[in-house]
Chains A and B, each alone.
Chain A
Amino acid sequence: MRTDLLFDPVDGLDEALAAVDAFDGVLVDGLLRPQPAQVAGLTALADAVAGTPLAARVTEAVEKAVAGAASEDHFVVLAAARTALMGSVHDALTARIGEVTGRPRAAETAPAADGEEHAVNVLAAARAWLCDLARTGWHGIDHDLIAGAAPVVSAMLPDPLLRRQAALLDGFAAELAASCPGTALERVPERRWADLWSRALLLTLPGAARTPAVSPATGRLLPLGVDVQEHATAVQAQVHAVFEPADGAAPRLVRASVSAPKPDTVVGAGLWQLLRPRMSLLAAVGEGRSMELDAMPLTAEGDLLWDDERARAGEAADPFATARVILSTATDPVTAPLDRHPARIAVPVLLEGYAAESADDGTLTFDLAGQRLAVDTDRAPAAGPLTAKAVATSGACVGLLRWDAGEFVLQPVAVETTVRKKTVAVHAGAWAGGTTDKAGARAEKAATDAVTVLRERAGRLLRK
């Protein structure tokens, strides 16, 4: 591991992000009647993609937007240009991480084949709402405008092929609703909302919801750790793991994801309870076991499309042993073109021999031969034993390398600490399959009670 490279500047990064920021500023006041500063922001975006295949279409879209006459297609082109810039940032950062880990990279993937169009009407409704947002601007949002997302989300949610769009729009709309009216906003999270807006807009295009091509994966799956993501009404758990093909081919880094919509009052252990029944891997992770896969669908991007029928529990497997023995030889997956964005970089690494340092303000860093890597302990799920304190006293860490606010950040998913001269491992996902831990069991009981009440209420009130 060349961790020293994490602290070297990345060429071109500041320039690309400056163009992104210029465009993001445009969305603050919206594109109904663009002012000179907004014209400059739009022009910066066009300039940044000049000389790329996008140039002509972006120039046209910018001209229309400057005149306050951008159509939906023009907004899509602007979102695509911004996404391409973020894609270039993603590529530079993952190339750097590749130099750090020294791991082999998978070959580029071919674009997914054309398929039939799906749910055209509801996607068009989503696009119309997103374009209204761009015209109105963040300072112009109000409850009526944001409420326009609700029927779109309600129409999308029952369709499993639209879960990605639904979860994004639902989380984004809730955040905007909590920020209404926009006129009273003191600070606008410009890059974040422009990220969510442009991704949501591109995901309304035909083909964006297409299932990627898969190949059958047969062999042993060795879990490394779990990453949990949630907003008020959705949760996703992603298990990062090394897959050893039975045919003796090189090991690969893969992810297995499971997600579910949820009421906002289902939190903590309730998240595991929602996800557990759909993915036996969560129980295996909790028990520290490997799993044997039999023709499990695996995408070229390294995503296992989990099916319990195609997995059975394997032998005990310690994630730290996996990380020490196999991780450095495993192939890193290549990200799908549309998904290239720095915010979704999450690369498993093993760090040892660091000195953990807690600052007075509670921030934690790992000192790696004199250089300080920021450590983000907030991302660990509430229903789990991995605390900031455990990380601060650790001597080895399996974590996800991320990039946030201009620097690389480590998200621990498991640490080794020494308790009474014995090495003890603490895993963020230790309670994924349930727990006998006292605090964990209390959280399980509380979550079960909450869901029981909601189901009772639903049974009585919904079908009347």
Chain B
Amino acid sequence: MRVVPPARPRKLAKVPFVELADGRLQGVVSSGSDIGRVYVSSIAAGTYAYACSTNNNRPCGGARGGFCNHIRALVAEAVLQYGAERVARYLKAEPGDGELDGAGLVASLAATRPAPGGSSAAAPVFSRFLRHLTYLELEPVTAPLPEMHWFPSTGAVA
């Protein structure tokens, strides 16, 4: 009945936000050295054009000639959250035979030698991440929400 399966649990310290949206795998990656800084990283579906910059629009030094560590972490965490198959399908990736995991997907994308893309998407991604964080600050309510019956939990572990 549900169209969008729920996210799988994962650790959020390195990559607090991941989404498959606007034709890109994109998200927010915490800086390893500066706790006040985050990177906005993305890979476009189809072309795998990649981008990485800080939330203040400074380009990431690691993403000049290929995927930086932020982009690699983004793919790995997206695979944990959505499953490798869904991420690969969204990116229109055609990984080789064998078991698909995060590292394998990164390798198969990098092997196509994708070109760097623009960083114009950073601002909207970062603002969606901030919007997403505001959801934690909203109070629960105890008036019934009858329409939630259209969104059943689908979590049973066999």
Q: 1/0 per residue B39-80: CB within 8 Å of A?
A: 000000000000000010000000000000000000000000
A74 at the interface (CB under 8 A from B): no
Which residue numbers of A lie inside 8 Å of B, CB to CB?
A: 143, 150, 154, 157-158, 160, 163-164, 167-168, 171, 174-175, 177-179, 189, 192, 195-196, 199-200, 203, 211, 228-234, 236, 238, 255-268, 270, 274-275, 277-279, 303-307, 339, 343-344, 346, 377-383, 386-389, 404, 443, 446-447, 449-451, 453-455, 457-458, 460-462
Q: Is the interface of A mostly helix, strand, loop or mixed?
A: mixed
Q: Is the CB of B143 within 8 A of A163?
A: yes
Cα distance A401–B140 when bound, in Å? 27
Q: Is the CB of A380 within 8 A of B158?
A: no
Q: Which residues of A contact B111 (CB under 8 A)?
A: none
B33 at the interface (CB under 8 A from A): no
Given known contacts A163-B141, A171-B151, A265-B7, A457 and B133 CB-to-CB distance under 8 angstroms: yes
Q: Is the CB of A263 within 8 A of B133?
A: yes
Which residue numbers of B lie inside 8 Å of A, CB to CB?
A: 1-4, 6-13, 16-17, 20-23, 30, 35-36, 38, 55, 81, 129-158
Given known contacts A229-B152, A257-B145, A378-B154, A461 and B12 CB-to-CB distance under 8 angstroms: no
Q: Is the CB of A461 within 8 A of B151?
A: no
Given known contacts A380-B153, A382-B153, A450 and B145 CB-to-CB distance under 8 angstroms: no
Given known contacts A160-B143, A171-B151, A305-B143, A454 and B7 CB-to-CB distance under 8 angstroms: no
Given known contacts A267-B7, A382-B155, A454 and B12 CB-to-CB distance under 8 angstroms: yes
Given known contacts A232-B4, A232-B6, A378 and B156 CB-to-CB distance under 8 angstroms: yes
Q: Is the CB of A189 within 8 A of B3?
A: yes
A-B pairs with the 6 shortest C-beta distances? A382-B155, A229-B148, A260-B140, A278-B140, A306-B142, A458-B133
Q: Is the CB of B145 within 8 A of A167?
A: yes
Q: Is the CB of A382 within 8 A of B156?
A: yes
Contact of A167 among B16, B148, B153, B156 (CB under 8 A): B148
Can you list 24 A-B contacts with CB-CB less than 8 angstroms, sorted by A residue number? A143-B21, A143-B22, A143-B23, A150-B131, A163-B141, A168-B145, A195-B150, A232-B7, A258-B142, A263-B135, A265-B16, A303-B144, A304-B142, A305-B142, A378-B154, A379-B153, A382-B153, A450-B10, A450-B11, A451-B136, A454-B12, A454-B16, A455-B136, A461-B129
Contact of A257 among B8, B16, B137, B143 (CB under 8 A): B143
Cα distance A196–B143 when bound, in Å? 19
User: In the complex, which residue of chain B has the Cβ closest to the Cβ of A307?
Assistant: B142
Q: Is the CB of B3 within 8 A of A386?
A: no
Q: Is the CB of B1 within 8 A of A263?
A: no
Q: Which residues of B contact A168 (CB under 8 A)?
A: 145, 147
